[in-house]
Amino acid sequence: MLPAQQLSISTPNTSLVLEAPAGGELKYLYYGNKLTDNDLQNLSSSGSPTFSAYPVYGMNCPGETALAVRHADGNMTLQMEVIKSDTKENDKDVTTTIYLKDKVYPFYVNVCYKAYKDVDVIETWTEISHDEKKAVTLNQFASAYLPIRRGNVWLSSLYGSWGNEARLNQEPLHPGMKVIANRDGVRNSHTSHAEVMFSLDGKPQENTGNTIGAALCYSGNYKLRINTDDGDYHQFYAGINEENSAYNLPKDEVFRTPALALTYTQEGLSGASRNFHRWGRLYKLAHGNTLRKILLNSWEGVYFDINQEGMDQMMSDIASMGGELFVMDDGWFGNKYQRNTDNSSLGDWTVDKKKLPEGIDGLLRDAKKHGIRFGLWIEPEMTNTTSELYEKHPEWIIKAPQRDPVQGRGGTQVVLDLANPDVQDFIFGVVDNLMTQYPEIDYIKWDANMSIMNHGSNYLTKDNQSHMYIEYHRGLEKVLQRIRAKYPDLTIQACASGGGRANWGYLPYFDEFWVSDNTDALQRIYMQWGTSYFFPAITMASHISASPNHQTSRSIPLKYRIDVAMSGRLGMEIQPKNMTDTEKELCKKAIADYKMIRPVVQLGDIYRLVSPYDHMGVASLMYVSPEKDKAVFYWWKTEHFINEHLPRVKMAGLQADKLYKIHELNRVDNKPLSFEGKTFSGEYLMANGLELPYRHATSYTNQNDWSSRVLYLEEIK
């Protein structure tokens, strides 16, 4: 029996406890390991202070708040009281809603918590509404608030930029305010991410330590705040970024804030990642439990130089290496304006018949001939001022009246105003027309290469111009919902100048994302490491590309490039006709082996072992099947010196009493590793690991300064 007025929101291993006294304030009591009945009974006498579970502005001003409004009569205060609470249960989850009302005003906030029954994630959000005579302006509207006890708390977060996405940053929390914010308008994960982890007891560890993870599931601008003032608790707030986005809420509308997904674990950062990955695959990601195809994407192979024969040749090559899908990237469309570079034609989504005389039909026919599937690239939220679409609908772009638009990529790119239902119909139509005409299209790469550079919507009223960012993402979501309703089986990649759209707000509509336009294998280790904190390997498009690399100009042997790409959703981003037969053979073998390990990589549990950010000269991680009968271990050397001393990497996540046989994949050495084909107990592998040679044993002419290993572990019964 719970004490009166107490609400316990629980998952298999965690509890979040609130106090909800009717007529009083909703209070936060606890978030952590699952509590026993006894401890629940005594929680309020544990000495822990209570906090408002959703702090509002106006009656206790000197502090951070989640919600701040201006009522219709100009009053800027709120005082919320609990009216009641209820729970709704189904097979998979339980949603607890606490209904709050202002003491004086007909202003309401529902604070909601959805707790999953088979994964340790709780999603929390609010629903804001009122019955006042005129609109109430929302000046701040966070999704959630969480107090975190001070101690030696460390924050892990991601930062970066184009070509260098998802860099890991780890720092202790200090007094003052830490803000992680996005203002791009269109894409929200280049410069920072809407997900963080808190290591509660000192420097973050991968596989041990009490850890809270938080992921804001929102595709638009966000703001995460961690305030450390004179109190004993850090105060964490997460929600839509309210800057330039004050929202005039009319009486008959409910403003629903995006969900903040919370997880708690004692298994360190990797433990929190495993929870997010599992939750993501089960409940968020499009087709989260379906294995992804191995593909060749045309971009780095031919860029805009698209033509029928070239596409046919690439399809033939990827098919002969065992690939399953070919994706034609940018450059295939535009009639009045040909898309030969990035300065025109977005919006004119008809096939360029000069480049592709037999159109998409011809390409689909070729794909069928080679026994693979076909996909193509679009960037439907955008247009160029040099395009037929812009000539027809200049009023559809985002820009302020009386201002010339600031133009982006190619000097002519502009963003369509997704607040406008006509624009939504148009964008839906881009996909719908393609799929109606060519139902065999299997995959769409949906790109977005520009920020909102101009504030202004021609569709929204003068008073509601500040709704532009929010309405853009509502419009986008409506379009994506329509697409998913009509084309549930289509595979769609979220690409946004590389990794601009890695967020759980997008992923319910997308199968995966392009991690970065930077395909350099060494830098990918760092980016994919950071990305893996919150997103499973199945979402991470990771392609073998040319050497020297097109972004960094670094030359890396194919073996190493393969070994890195195989740790995500494997693909290729290369002109195969420039590869030697030996290189093609190596890729063919890797693709065949990837098919064998694909279920473990894409659906398994991640254990990060040695971080590249620790600069130990090596990075290592592994995936383990849920049954713990198979695992794939990756080891990439990140530095190369004579007489260097690399750590011996201990494995993790195996079952101690199982025996595992070791087999090296992508071997280039003249002789097998000493432990090839040998079996070791999980206990030995986790306590000691295996001693990996620092270099590859190859002929003198094949020696180089890169080494990497992929080991496949299979249980022997």
Query: Is-contact 17 7, C-beta < 8 A?
Result: yes
Asked if 328 is part of the footprint of ligand DGJ (rule: CB under 6 A), the reply reads no
Select from 189, 210, 497, 542 the one that contacts ligand DGJ (CB under 6 A): 497
**Shortest distance (Å) from residue 301 CB to ligand DGJ:** 11
Question: Does residue 157 contact residue 193 with C-beta atoms inside 8 Å?
Answer: yes
**Cβ nearer to ligand DGJ, comparing 337 with 635:** 337
Query: Segment 184-243, which members bind ligand DGJ (CB under 6 A)?
Result: none
Report the residue count for the chain: 717
The per-residue DSSP string of 638-704 comes to ----TT--PPPPPP-SS-TT-EEEEEEES--SSS--TTTT-EEEHHHHHHT-----SS----GGG--
Contact between 517 and ligand DGJ per CB under 6 A: yes
Output the smallest distance, CB 499 to ligand DGJ, in A: 9
Decide if residue 19 touches ligand DGJ (CB under 6 A): no
Beta-carbon-side half-sphere exposure of residue 449 (alpha carbons within 13 Å): 21
Q: Are residues 677 and 663 in contact, defined by beta-carbon separation less than 8 angstroms?
A: yes
- Residues 414-433: x where in contact with ligand DGJ by CB under 6 A, - otherwise, as a string: --------------------
Q: How far apart are CA 398 and CA 390, in angstroms?
A: 12
Rg of the chain over all Cα atoms, to the nearest angstrom: 26
**Which listed range, 61-69, 89-97, 284-292, 491-499, lies at the site for ligand DGJ (CB under 6 A)?**
491-499
Q: Can residue 165 be called a binding residue for ligand DGJ (CB under 6 A)?
A: no
Q: Is the dihedral of CA 224, 226, 227, 232 positive or negative?
A: positive
Closest CA to 271 of 533, 16, 525: 533
Q: Which is nearer to ligand DGJ, 270 or 518 (CB)?
A: 518
Residues 270-299, interacting with ligand DGJ (CB under 6 A) = 299
- Residue 380, interface with ligand DGJ (CB under 6 A)? no
CB of 658 vs ligand DGJ, minimal distance in Å: 41
Cβ burial, residue 580 (10 Å; 0-12/13-18/19+): exposed
Q: Is 443 in the site for ligand DGJ (CB under 6 A)?
A: no
Nearer to ligand DGJ, 279 or 299 (CB): 299
Count of residues of this chain found to bind ligand DGJ when the rule CB under 6 A is applied: 12
Type of residue found at 229: D
For position 449 contacting ligand DGJ by CB under 6 A, the verdict is yes
Min dist CB 53 to ligand DGJ, Å, is 41
CB of 375 to ligand DGJ, least distance (A): 12
**Measured from the CB atom, is 380 or 498 closer to ligand DGJ?**
498
- Nearest distance, CB of residue 299 and ligand DGJ, angstroms: 5
Q: Which is nearer to ligand DGJ, 288 or 380 (CB)?
A: 380
Q: Please identify which residue in 514, 526, 533, 594 interacts with ligand DGJ, judged by CB under 6 A.
A: 514
| Residue whose CB is less far from ligand DGJ, 142 or 378 | 378
Residue 329 near ligand DGJ by CB under 6 A: yes
CB of 184 to ligand DGJ, least distance (A): 15
Query: Which region, judged by CB under 6 A, interacts with ligand DGJ, from 143-151, 316-324, 493-501, 581-589?
Result: 493-501
Our CB check for ligand DGJ shows the closer of 303 and 438 to be 303
What is the nearest approach in angstroms of ligand DGJ to the Cβ of residue 329?
5
- Of the pair 27, 292, the CB lying nearest ligand DGJ is at 292
Q: At what angle do helices 359-370 and 308-320 cross, to 10 degrees?
A: 20
Hey, what are 238's tokens?
Answer: 């997460």
Instruction: Answer whether 11's CB lies under 8 Å from 31's CB.
Output: no
Q: Is residue 245 involved in binding ligand DGJ (CB under 6 A)? A: no
Minimum CB distance to ligand DGJ smaller for 273 or for 549? 549
For residue 420, the minimal CB distance to ligand DGJ (Å) is: 24
State yes or no: residue 510 binds ligand DGJ (CB under 6 A).
no
What minimum distance in Å lies between the beta carbon of 541 and ligand DGJ?
9
Q: How far is the CB of 516 from ligand DGJ (least distance, A)?
A: 8
Q: Which of 26, 138, 224, 495 binds ligand DGJ (CB under 6 A)?
A: 495
3-state DSSP assignment of residue 170 = strand
Among 145, 236, 374, 377, interactor with ligand DGJ by CB under 6 A: 377
CB-CB contact of 98 with 110 (8 Å): yes
* 351 secondary structure, DSSP code: B
In DSSP notation, 3-49 reads PTTEEEEE-SSEEEEEE--BTS--EEEEEEEPPPHHHHHHGGGSS--
- For the stretch 24-29, contacts whose Cβ atoms lie closer than 8 Å and that sit 24 or more positions apart, written own/partner, are 24/81, 24/82, 25/52, 25/80, 25/81, 25/82, 26/52, 26/53, 26/54, 26/80, 26/82, 26/98, 26/100, 26/111, 27/51, 27/52, 27/53, 28/52, 28/53, 28/145, 28/146, 28/147
Contact range with ligand DGJ by CB under 6 A, out of 212-220, 494-502, 598-606, 682-690: 494-502
Q: Nearest residue by C-beta to ligand DGJ?
A: 330
Nearer to ligand DGJ, 8 or 344 (CB): 344
Q: Which of 19, 330, 366, 520 binds ligand DGJ (CB under 6 A)?
A: 330
CB of 486 to ligand DGJ, least distance (A): 24
CB-count burial class (<10 Å; 0-12, 13-18, 19+) for 524: buried
> Which lies closer to ligand DGJ via its Cβ, residue 239 or residue 568?
568
The answer to whether the CB of 442 falls within 8 A of the CB of 374 is yes
Distance CA 223, CA 194 (A): 8
Q: Looking at beta carbons only, is 449 or 457 nearer to ligand DGJ?
A: 449
Is 586 a binder of ligand DGJ (CB under 6 A)?
A: no
Token code pair at residue 320: 């002969």
498 lines the binding site for ligand DGJ (CB under 6 A): yes
Bridge partners of 16? 9, 31
Stretch that binds ligand DGJ, among 102-110, 282-290, 471-479, 495-503 (CB under 6 A): 495-503
Rounded to whole angstroms, the Cα distance separating 447 from 495 reads: 5
Q: What's the min distance (Å) between Cβ of 573 and ligand DGJ?
A: 8
317 binds ligand DGJ (CB under 6 A): no
Distance CA 381, CA 362 (A): 27
Under DSSP, is residue 336 helix (H, G, I), strand (E, B) or coil? coil
Residue 445, token pair as written in the block: 């790469």
Computed from CA positions of residues 470, 473, 474, 475, in that sequence, does the dihedral angle turn out positive or negative? positive
Q: Is 447 in the site for ligand DGJ (CB under 6 A)?
A: yes
Footprint of ligand DGJ on 332-371 (CB under 6 A)? 342
Identify the three-state secondary structure at position 143.
strand
Side chain identity at residue 382, one-letter code? M
Q: Does 471 bind ligand DGJ (CB under 6 A)?
A: no
Distance CA 298, CA 304 (A): 9
326 binding ligand DGJ? (CB under 6 A) = no
By beta-carbon proximity to ligand DGJ, the closer residue of 260 and 570 is 570
Residues 32-51 that bind ligand DGJ (CB under 6 A): none
Residues that bind ligand DGJ (CB under 6 A): 299, 329-330, 342, 377, 447, 449, 495, 497-498, 514, 517
